[in-house]
Structure 1
Amino acid sequence: MPEPTMTCRSIACDNEFPRRTLRCPKCMAYGVQHLYKYRKFSERTLDILRKKQLYFPTAEKLNDPFEFEFALTSDRINGLPIDRESMAAAKQSMKQYGVLALGEDPSVVLMWSHYADEHKGLCLGFTRTDTNELGEYDKSYPVIYSAALPTFTPEQLTDPQHVGKALTTKADYWSYEQEWRMISREGGNAIEFPGDLTSVTFGFRMPDAQRKQVIAILGDSVDYFVTKMHATMYRLDVEPIANVGNA
């Protein structure tokens, strides 16, 4: 399965490069510069903002039962049958890895519906830079979407490149999420923000009192936005909040 790529957004450049590369190698224009975390409003979310930490749930606790699944081209390795119990144990061990999932777009209606309490939550915006983990080529990965499981030979089970594809491939019916992920060998842990928190977008159904709690924690350290239902299209617009005191 090929690595996701993108075409440079600069008008004067049509270079194609790996999507996870922060800048176009040809003209140095930014590629995907911002990633987003949808959250429902809760005390846990407020704690995330206070501590500036994000949680890596284990893969087995995510909502996709196919997380980290893969297929092999043969049930034998070096001529010997693969022990099914050992393979099952290896897969279960992989499902204890931690996954931090982020998205590319703060205006996806289904993301607000599924992960931000039906538009009553918020969306945290992080900026990828040359000096943080989100901007590092080998730390954050755009998900590969496919109709088929990643498939490789039994001998490739020890190849990090092939195993990495198993960790970052999902069914194509999840493609609306435009997901990126960071992987940790130890799930169930929290880490410091891997990128700079630069924006917060409030869902249009979020109560004013809850917005004010968020603003009280973050102050003017971020830019604030709010979603708005478009008047004639099935879409959300994201509009800046000029005066957070009146948010």
Structure 2
Amino acid sequence: MILYKYVSFEAGLKILETCALGFSHLEDFNDPFEATALGLTEGSISQAVRFGACRNRLSRKYTVLSLTRAPLNPLMWSHYGDCYKGMVIGIDTVKAGFENDEQYIIPAHRGEIIYVNTAPKATNNINDEDLMAIGDSSVMSWKKHERFLKHAFLYKSVCWAYEEEVRIVKNISSANFAYHYSSKKEEIIDGLVWKRLQLETRPIYLRDIPEEAFMEIYIGENCYRDQMRKQKNKAQQDVELSDPIERLKATCQRKSISLYRVGVDVERWLLMKQEIK
């Protein structure tokens, strides 16, 4: 299936040129209620301690790629598409390897978000041994812990339903990457190379995918105007110029990726796509 990633124009161009996608920790997502649908039953240790320990281990032991089914959603373009100045990248999840059950504890075909009005209560009985097993791939698996993993990664409040989100979840615990600082920049996990990149505020984990997995690109209505403004500012600062729109067109042509511009139908309040030749 084809799923979509909303990004800024600059980030999207880099993704296409490097053929790498970044996975993130749950604690770096914009929803403060991530991994709060655990529905833990009462235990000998206080709920607050057990709950905090679960969330911490879920965030640090796993990393997540968020995609969507909706490339023409006005709210998504405003929130994640840099106010229509960015782009949306269409990715074939089979060609990208995101349907692989052995590589991902939650591959794309299992990763559709479940939107609910209220968080589950007293659903998962997590004892101390189970808690310490979070992130241990020899113990925790989809087959044995499907309900818990769904609650941990795939349950969200119904207010987020407009996102039509699908997640791919990777266990990175074997790499022993540190969150705040890590001397490790690259590691083999389950036979594949994962690279740790430290951004200004958080780390991400890069996974290379085949260039044929990139199927289509949508650029926002405000993209041309924004890029022209940035080019003008660079010219005034006497910075070497290169036209990023032309770079994008050349990249899409070279990799046989369909390129579209998103327009606005003001009469029907809908977004529409128009192919760029």
Please report the TM-score for the alignment, with normalisation by the length of structure 2. Answer: 0.66
Aligned equivalent of 1:190, options 202, 206, 221: 206
Aligned equivalent of 2:117, options 122, 144, 147: 147
Q: Are the counterparts in 2 of residues 67 and 95 from structure 1 also a CA contact under 8 Å?
A: no
Give the corresponding residue for 2:222.
Answer: 205
Greater helix proportion = 2
Pair 153,170 (structure 1): closer, same or farther in 2 beyond 3 Å: closer
Deviations 1:142-192 (A, max 9, x none): 111111224453436755212221211111111111100101223731112
Amino acid at match of 1:40: S
Amino acid at match of 2:63: G
Q: Are the counterparts in 1 of residues 40 and 126 from structure 2 also a CA contact under 8 Å?
A: no
Deviations 1:51-93 (A, max 9, x none): 10110111100000111112436312xxx45564244222211
Q: Are the counterparts in 2 of residues 124 and 199 from structure 1 also a CA contact under 8 Å?
A: yes
Aligned residues: 205
Cα distance in 2 between the residues matched to 1:74 and 1:240: 53
Amino acid at match of 1:205: N
Give the corresponding residue for 2:82.
Answer: 117
Q: Are the counterparts in 2 of residues 150 and 165 from structure 1 also a CA contact under 8 Å?
A: no
Give the corresponding residue for 1:4.
Answer: none
Equivalent residue of 2:54, what SS?
helix
Displacement of 1:128: 3.5
Q: Are the counterparts in 1 of residues 12 and 89 from structure 2 also a CA contact under 8 Å?
A: no
Give the corresponding residue for 2:248.
Answer: 214
Say yes or no: does 1:90 pair with 2:54: yes
Displacement of 1:193: 2.9
Question: How high is the sequence identity, in percent, across the aligned residues?
Answer: 24
> Which blocks of at least 5 consecutive residues in structure 1 are unaligned?
1-32
Displacement of 1:226: 1.0
Cα distance in 2 between the residues matched to 1:74 and 1:197: 43
Q: Are the counterparts in 2 of residues 48 and 54 from structure 1 also a CA contact under 8 Å?
A: yes
Q: Are the counterparts in 2 of residues 75 and 154 from structure 1 also a CA contact under 8 Å?
A: no
Give the corresponding residue for 1:226.
Answer: 261
Moved over 6 A (4+): none
> Which blocks of at least 5 consecutive residues in structure 2 are unaligned?
131-143, 173-202, 228-242
Give the corresponding residue for 1:17.
Answer: none
What are the residue-to-residue correspondences of 1:1-247 with 2, within 5 Å? 33-42=1-10, 44-72=11-39, 74-76=41-43, 80-82=44-46, 84-96=48-60, 97-129=62-94, 132-136=96-100, 139-140=107-108, 141-155=111-125, 158=130, 159-166=144-151, 167-186=153-172, 188-193=204-209, 196-207=213-224, 209-220=243-254, 221-241=256-276, 243=277
Equivalent residue of 2:9, what SS?
coil
Cα distance in 2 between the residues matched to 1:81 and 1:161: 24
Equivalent residue of 2:125, what SS?
helix
